[in-house]
A and B are shown apart, each in its own frame.
Chain A
Amino acid sequence: MALKAFFPTCCASVDSGLLVGRWVPEQSSAVVLAVLQFPFIPIQVKHLLAQVRQASRVGVAVLGTWCHHRQEPEEGLGHFLEGLAAVFSHEPWLQLGRERGSTFWSCKAIWRPMSPGASGQDQVMLIFYDQRQVLLSQLHPPAALPDRQAGDAPASAGGLAAVFDTVARSEALFRSDRFHEGPVRLSHWQSEGVEASILVELAKQAAGPTCLLFSFLLSLLSAVGACRLFRLWPLPSICSKLSTCKQVQHRLEHLSLIFSTRKAENPAQLMRKANVCVSVLLDVALGLALLTWLHGKGHIGQLADALVPVADRVAEELQHLLQWLMGAPAGLKMNRALDQVLGRFFLYHIHLWISYIHLMSPFVERILWHVGLSACLGLTVALSLLSDITALLTFHIYCFYVYGARLYSLKTRGLSSLWRLFRGKKWNVLRQRVDSCSYDLDQLFIGTLLFTILVFLLPTTALYYLVFTLLRLLVVTVQGLLHLFVDLVNSLPLYSLCLRLCRPYRLAAGVKFRVLGHEAGKPLRLLMQINPLPYSHVVRTYRLPSCGCRPGLSWSSLCRKLFLGELVYPWRQKGDRQD
């Protein structure tokens, strides 16, 4: 197997020295982590390596020598570097060299002659990698790496995951910055010194107590919420049906996640926390923008003034619609008596509704003002409230729909059972199946009579049902759009998306290689780059769970329910979860 040497690009121009890194025997690859500079004392080097080995549980060792000829090749240096193989023994001993004039490097792997399977000099491949990007990146999907407690066990994950793991785990080696003066001088990727901003330090100091305080407040709030007064009969059922309550609960969970004092254990949890935080911040910012817009320049007054005429207008249109239905709608000839009865019934309802709205009209502005205040909890809460208000304001449409649906379902059920009577069958309730049955002549006569009546009355009811179902669906669609937007804000992983946009190497789907060039007799040189995760994968991986206040009905079951005249509730029923 060809020997692979992973070499950091930042070390390509440093002075000659020793290569420090890890040897992965399964892949026969050497991961160079740093270059050790002259002068050094071998005991100190071994001591440092032992320290790093203990801290990172990676078998870091001296892998070989690095020889950079800036001037004319010096004979002495070469001999000196060869001599070092005796001090730091390693199998195989790598000799990397860079000539001054040429872009091609020389690389030799020397196996000890008596070791088994030693083929003298092996084929060598040089792979350059950006140490910082590999250190910071996170492979997706996360490879099943051996537990850190398992000690120095070699990573059983695939070859490149082992490389990533090695670089990420030996962070202890990179801790020293450029200005570090130690007994041993290492060259590797270095930060530009620790940033010492007063604000950052203050924020770090303040973060702990703030989290404690807020988590205490949140626990107080949840304790208040759990008290017995709120468990009385109507409140829980109402709360479970109002999307505002659900949204507020959802946000409270988010806040308790953000301010929880427990440290995030793995990168996925950290990312989730950051996503939740950004989502809440964006939500509140949008809500505050809405608040300033609403409360400035008297927009609320305008809205309140516009609301009552709009309701009046809707009621008027409905009245026209009903009058049209009571005549001969679209040239259909309806049953006149039933038509008149139904029409008057609905007209009276509209009348009731209008008087209700007019009774409310002096308080609309006050109500809107208070509702507008809820926007400071976030745009999503305000939108959920808007959705609930829409549901309340269009209650008459819901009522019409329910009456129509009940009548229609009565008709369809009656028709279906009478159709069974025709065929000499009946529904056996005990066995839950259709049995054959012999009817009397009287029964058949009455059944036929009823069937005829129902068939002739069906178009009238069906028409009313159709019209009011369409109205109801319109309202449901508006509410659905609002919920869709709320879900979008709730579940979009904005932080991950920004990270993908600005630092593509942080979320890695894998790697890609570029061939840098090859010359006969010299090792092949490859450049390893991070292949960023596609946006669709980012969204799929880091999507936050939505609060699920939408009624979860599939299209087919919705159509079936509409056709049979069963009620479509605006909220999630307990029975709906099965389908």
Chain B
Amino acid sequence: MEDEQSFSDICGGRLALQRRYYSPSCREFCLSCPRLSLRSLTAVTCTVWLVAYGLFTLCENSMILSAAIFITLVGLLGYLHFVKIDQETLLIIDSLGIQMTSYYASGKESTTFIEMGKVKDIVINEAIYMQKVIYYLCILLKDPVEPHRISQVVPVFQSAKPRLDCLIEVYKSCQEILAHQKATSASP
């Protein structure tokens, strides 16, 4: 089963939330940010090159032009490979764990898998971000020594930063699976 809904992030940008229900015990939530737009790319490139031409007319040194080309290329590659995240997914599998994957624009994937034994709960939290208060979904990890304590808070959807309505959807589905997990692990 698969459905798609459109939400907005904290700055008002569009986000698409895809939900895939593979089985009652396995769900995937996929938040896609808008791709890198041609307009912003052109704007940045033009600015850098105009500045470079300005400097070139002042100094008459052609090194500046080559440096500008180099900086643009390296900057673009670095931005696509290390900064721009296209898609973030949260895969929750009952009795196995929670997996968070970020897909960068260059195709790089970075994955974190948290075993279900370490997960204490999933909650929606409030945080002060720049000049506003935002909500974010986070996974609470158990302290291995004292199981009632929280050792770490892992935020989910860090780069997409969806609004509360989107978070509530994800939160409800995750809680269903967690409740099922708790019920089955407690009974035997």
Which residues of A are in contact with B by a Cβ distance under 8 Å?
A: 1-2, 4, 27-28, 117, 123, 125, 127, 158-160, 510-513, 515, 517-518, 524, 526, 531
Cβ–Cβ contact A513 & B22, under 8 A? no
Query: Complex formed: what's the CA distance from A531 to B113 in Å?
Result: 9
How many Å from the CB of B114 to the closest CB on chain A?
A: 9
How many Å from the CB of B142 to the closest CB on chain A?
A: 11
How many Å from the CB of A501 to the closest CB on chain B?
A: 15
Cβ–Cβ contact B117 & A513, under 8 A? no
**Proximity bits, B108-129, A CB within 8 Å = 1, else 0:** 0001110111100000000000
Q: From A510, which residue of chain B is reached at the shortest CB distance?
A: B113
Q: From A160, which residue of chain B is reached at the shortest CB distance?
A: B115
Query: Complex formed: what's the CA distance from A1 to B185 in Å?
Result: 6
Chain A residues whose CB sits within 8 angstroms of the CB of B26 once the complex forms: 125, 515, 518, 524, 526
* Interface: B178 (CB within 8 A): no
Chain A residues whose CB sits within 8 angstroms of the CB of B25 once the complex forms: 2, 123, 125, 524
- The residue in A117, A512, A518, A526 that gathers the most chain B C-beta atoms within 10 A of its C-beta is A512
**Proximity bits, B88-105, A CB within 8 Å = 1, else 0:** 000101111101010000
Chain B residues whose CB sits within 8 angstroms of the CB of A511 once the complex forms: 113
Q: From B118, which residue of chain A is reached at the shortest CB distance?
A: A158
Give which listed residue, B23, B99, B113, B115, contacts A524 with CB less than 8 A: B23
Which residues of B are in contact with A by a Cβ distance under 8 Å?
A: 20, 22-26, 28, 91, 93-97, 99, 101, 111-113, 115-118, 181, 184-185, 187-188
Query: Complex formed: what's the CA distance from A531 to B101 in Å?
Result: 11
Cβ–Cβ contact B96 & A4, under 8 A? yes
Cβ–Cβ contact A512 & B95, under 8 A? no
Cβ–Cβ contact A531 & B111, under 8 A? yes
Q: From B94, which residue of chain A is reached at the shortest CB distance?
A: A2
Chain B residues whose CB sits within 8 angstroms of the CB of A524 once the complex forms: 22-23, 25-26
Cβ–Cβ contact B99 & A512, under 8 A? yes
**20 intermolecular pairs with C-beta atoms under 8 Å apart:** A1-B181, A1-B184, A2-B184, A4-B96, A28-B95, A117-B188, A123-B25, A125-B25, A125-B96, A158-B118, A159-B96, A159-B115, A510-B112, A511-B113, A512-B99, A513-B93, A518-B26, A524-B22, A524-B23, A526-B96
Cβ–Cβ contact B95 & A4, under 8 A? yes
Q: From A25, which residue of chain B is reached at the shortest CB distance?
A: B188
Query: Complex formed: what's the CA distance from A233 to B93 in Å?
Result: 70
How many Å from the CB of A3 to the closest CB on chain B?
A: 9
Q: From B110, which residue of chain A is reached at the shortest CB distance?
A: A534
Given A158-B118, A524-B26: A1 and B188 within 8 A (CB)? yes
Query: Complex formed: what's the CA distance from A517 to B21 in Å?
Result: 11
Cβ–Cβ contact A513 & B91, under 8 A? yes
Query: Complex formed: what's the CA distance from A518 to B24 in Å?
Result: 11
Query: Complex formed: what's the CA distance from A158 to B115 in Å?
Result: 8
Chain B residues whose CB sits within 8 angstroms of the CB of A27 once the complex forms: 95
Chain B residues whose CB sits within 8 angstroms of the CB of A4 once the complex forms: 95-96
Query: Complex formed: what's the CA distance from A531 to B100 in Å?
Result: 12
Cβ–Cβ contact B118 & A518, under 8 A? no
- The residue in B23, B24, B91, B101 that gathers the most chain A C-beta atoms within 10 A of its C-beta is B23
Chain A residues whose CB sits within 8 angstroms of the CB of B118 once the complex forms: 158
Query: Complex formed: what's the CA distance from A123 to B97 in Å?
Result: 16
Give which listed residue, B24, B28, B113, B115, contacts A515 with CB less than 8 A: B28
Query: Complex formed: what's the CA distance from A515 to B96 in Å?
Result: 13
Q: From B187, which residue of chain A is reached at the shortest CB distance?
A: A117
Chain B residues whose CB sits within 8 angstroms of the CB of A513 once the complex forms: 91, 93, 96-97, 99, 113
Chain B residues whose CB sits within 8 angstroms of the CB of A158 once the complex forms: 115, 117-118
Q: From B26, which residue of chain A is reached at the shortest CB distance?
A: A524
How many Å from the CB of A529 to the closest CB on chain B?
A: 9
Chain A residues whose CB sits within 8 angstroms of the CB of B185 once the complex forms: 1
Q: From A118, which residue of chain B is reached at the shortest CB distance?
A: B188
How many Å from the CB of B138 to the closest CB on chain A?
A: 19
Chain B residues whose CB sits within 8 angstroms of the CB of A117 once the complex forms: 187-188
Query: Complex formed: what's the CA distance from A510 to B94 in Å?
Result: 18
Query: Complex formed: what's the CA distance from A4 to B26 in Å?
Result: 13
Query: Complex formed: what's the CA distance from A111 to B23 in Å?
Result: 23
How many Å from the CB of B158 to the closest CB on chain A?
A: 17
Chain B residues whose CB sits within 8 angstroms of the CB of A123 once the complex forms: 24-25
Query: Complex formed: what's the CA distance from A125 to B22 in Å?
Result: 12
Given A125-B25, A518-B23: A512 and B101 within 8 A (CB)? yes
Chain A residues whose CB sits within 8 angstroms of the CB of B99 once the complex forms: 512-513
- The residue in A2, A158, A160 that gathers the most chain B C-beta atoms within 10 A of its C-beta is A2
How many Å from the CB of B178 to the closest CB on chain A?
A: 13
Chain B residues whose CB sits within 8 angstroms of the CB of A125 once the complex forms: 25-26, 93, 95-96
Known: A511-B113, A524-B25. 17 other contacts (CB 8 A): A1-B95, A2-B25, A2-B94, A2-B96, A2-B184, A117-B187, A117-B188, A125-B25, A158-B118, A512-B99, A513-B99, A515-B22, A518-B22, A518-B26, A524-B23, A524-B26, A531-B111
How many Å from the CB of A167 to the closest CB on chain B?
A: 17
Q: From A522, which residue of chain B is reached at the shortest CB distance?
A: B23
Query: Complex formed: what's the CA distance from A515 to B1 in Å?
Result: 13
Query: Complex formed: what's the CA distance from A524 to B93 in Å?
Result: 10
How many Å from the CB of B28 to the closest CB on chain A?
A: 7
- The residue in B96, B101, B113, B115 that gathers the most chain A C-beta atoms within 10 A of its C-beta is B96
Query: Complex formed: what's the CA distance from A524 to B92 in Å?
Result: 13
Given A2-B94, A4-B95, A4-B96: A512 and B113 within 8 A (CB)? yes
Query: Complex formed: what's the CA distance from A154 to B78 in Å?
Result: 46
How many Å from the CB of A404 to the closest CB on chain B?
A: 39
Q: From A127, which residue of chain B is reached at the shortest CB distance?
A: B96
Query: Complex formed: what's the CA distance from A125 to B26 in Å?
Result: 10
